Amino acid sequence: MMRSIRWKLTSSYLLLVVLVLVIVTAYVTQALHRSYVSTYAYVVATQAKVISLMMREYAGKRNLAELQPMAQTLKWRKEAIIALIDATGRSTGPDAAASPELEKAFAGEESQAVRFDPATGETRVFAAAPILGPDNRIAGVVQVSAPEAWVWRQLRRMAPALGTASLLGLVAAFIVGMRLSRRITRPLEELGHAAERISTGDFASRAPVDETAELERLGRTFNRMTDRLQQTIAEITTERKKLEAIVSGMTDAVVATDRHGTLMLLNRAATDLLRADPAGALGRPARETIQGDRLPAMLEDATASGRITAEELPPGSVGDRVVEVHCAPYRDDQGEVIGAVAVLRDVTELRHSERLRRELTANVSHELRTPLTSIKGFTETLLDGAVRDEATSRRFLTIISSEADRLVKLVDDLLDLSQLESKRVTLDLRRVNVAALVAHTVDKLQPLAQGSGLLLEQAAPPEVWVTADRDRLEQVLTNLIDNALKYTPTGGRVDVRVAQADREVEISVSDTGKGIGPADLPHVFERFYRADRSRTRGSGGTGLGLAIARHIVEAHGGRIRVDSLLDEGTTFLFTIPQNG
Ligand SMILES: Nc1ncnc2c1ncn2[C@@H]1O[C@H](COP(=O)(O)OP(=O)(O)OP(=O)(O)O)[C@@H](O)[C@H]1O
Ligand SMILES: [Mg+2]
């Protein structure tokens, strides 16, 4: 059981008082006893002397035996014994054994002694005095004795008084002890309360400073310590917040586990990437909270081996993303591995654009190769002699010229696309009348439509205006109509319509052509994508037109989409916002 200082102080105080009382009582009792005994012995001795003097009066006339009854009348108490002993040493009354005081009395001296008396079986106070005869010779001796126990009886009478005094002393000691200990423990208790408040995080709390020297020092030291603690904690907190801000603000995802694989840290990028709930995930095993087992395994490996590892996780490990993971162990001051930290970078876009770049190179090379091969073939035939036949050489040169045109278009489109993709193109924004633009484009392409035996129609409300780059819009429209004409068999029709929607203009190009299959539909806006390569090769398309169109529409803040049914027709629709 824990005892309070207060209780300990009071009890030791009481113990001390009891001890002092016991010692004092023992000493006082001893001293009183001695003093009482000597007083008592004096009384007994005086008695013996008085009796001896009285007996002297009668010693000449009667013998001691006769005087005995008279002597007994002088007994002042029942337990007192008065013995007269004649000169021969015989007692004339009660027995009186040989004893030092008797010997001295026979030698003419009065004397006394406190000793054990075998006859009565108790300690008694003895006194003896000589009885002188008429001739001044010793006629006998008177011996008086009384029990020493009387002294104790006398002392015992004082016991209640002593007890009361002790009790009062104890009560006083208790009260004083309580007050004194209260005086000492209160500052300690307050110090304790302050310490408790600080332990719950209230670092502004201070202990009251007591004026007692030691407690004052304790209080001041405690407060200084708290100051330092508050300061240190504030510094640590700021440092931690700084670090947290840095880690949480990182674009790379950071995940840390301790040596048991428990999740210790997840920054914002990590919770986004791993789709984890930080509140539920922290403090739980990484294996339970992180989807897929590759990342937890890497963290475990780094913790177990103490080595840095790097790996690229394919889609499926962390959702559908491609993630580059660098995993490193972290150590304590002794160099012991106490966990691992992984930095994850979402490289999906990077890998995607890398792939696109590779594909682009392959595609461009391929597209360049076809016309170049053709040009080279015809040039060699001409050099081999065909040049001498004018009709043949004219036909071949026409083909060479058209292949060169195709090359120029391809290079122009590529340049255009690369500028649009790198957002290096600035739009020349003006107020554009949409109906006029559509009419102009349709008129421009009408001969092509007629040449292919197609009906090209337009329907546009007259006063619809947008703020846009007129040439770029014409480029989009031209490409869409050109596609519609290109991919619609003879006898079909192409409709260009303009509609005013909520703060934007919708322009659609529909045809009754061969349509685009559902498998190709999502890809038609990708560069170099052609739905039917074998057939469109002949049409001379490069597959860049729609990619360019999408970039132009999006640069205006609009959207482009396509609806199509195989063998029924296709509708391309794009919007241009009017507030831009
Ligand atoms: N109206 C349409 N009907 C059917 N297929 C179409 C239509 N418009 C586009 N496509 C398909 O989408 C592909 C991509 O069109 P895009 O305009 O980008 O390329 P292209 O017309 O082949 O070449 P370019 O326009 O560069 O000369 C086409 O090759 C074609 O397969
Ligand atoms: Mg096209």
Give distance in angstroms: CA of 480 to centre of ligand 1. 8
Predicted confidence at residue 545, as pLDDT, reads 93
Among all bound ligands, the one having the nearest atom to the CA of 413 is 1
Predicted confidence at residue 539, as pLDDT, reads 52
Specify whether the CB–CB gap between 150 and 184 falls below 8 A. Answer: no
From 408, 476, 483, 572, mutation site for ligand 1 pocket: most ligand atoms within 8 A of C-beta: 483
Specify whether the CB–CB gap between 443 and 477 falls below 8 A. Answer: no
Does domain 426-577 fall under CATH 3.30.565.10? My reply is yes
From 476, 524, 548, mutation site for ligand 1 pocket: most ligand atoms within 8 A of C-beta: 524
Q: At the top level of CATH, which class does the domain 250-346 belong to?
A: alpha beta
Specify the CATH superfamily of domain 5-156. Answer: PAS domain (3.30.450.20)
CATH number of 351-420: 1.10.287.130
Among all bound ligands, the one having the nearest atom to the CA of 405 is 1
The pLDDT averaged over each successive group of 10 residues in the chain (580 residues) is 74 85 88 87 88 80 76 82 80 68 85 86 89 82 87 84 86 85 82 86 80 82 88 91 88 92 90 84 86 88 93 87 93 93 92 88 88 93 89 92 92 91 87 96 96 95 93 96 94 95 94 93 89 57 90 95 94 89
Give distance in angstroms: CA of 429 to centre of ligand 1. 27
Give distance in angstroms: CA of 14 to centre of ligand 1. 109
* CA-to-CA dists, residue 504 to 90, 435, 462, 463, 563, angstroms: 158, 14, 15, 13, 20
Helices (H), 422-455: 434-451
Give distance in angstroms: CA of 376 to centre of ligand 2. 26
Domains 250-346 and 426-577 share a fold: no
Residue list, ligand 1 pocket, CB within 6 Å? 413, 479, 483-484, 487, 511, 513-516, 524, 529-532, 536, 541-547, 570
Specify whether the CB–CB gap between 112 and 125 falls below 8 A. Answer: yes
Among all bound ligands, the one having the nearest atom to the CA of 531 is 1
Instruction: Pull the structure tokens for residue 572.
Output: 């391309």
- The two most distant CA atoms of the chain are separated, in Å, by 209
Predicted confidence at residue 383, as pLDDT, reads 92
Residue closest via CA to ligand 1's atom 1 equals 484
Residue whose pair of structure tokens reads 């696309």 in the numeric block: 417
Q: Which of 184, 167, 171 is nearest to 7 (CA)?
A: 184
Predicted confidence at residue 511, as pLDDT, reads 97
Residue closest via CA to ligand 1's atom 4 equals 515
Beta bridge partners of 495: 457, 510
Among all bound ligands, the one having the nearest atom to the CA of 524 is 1
Predicted confidence at residue 537, as pLDDT, reads 44
| Rounded distance between C-alpha atoms, residue 424 and residue 95, angstroms | 148
| Rounded distance between C-alpha atoms, residue 412 and residue 66, angstroms | 173
Going from N- to C-terminal start, the domains of the chain cover 5-156, 159-231, 250-346, 351-420, 426-577
| Rounded distance between C-alpha atoms, residue 322 and residue 327, angstroms | 16
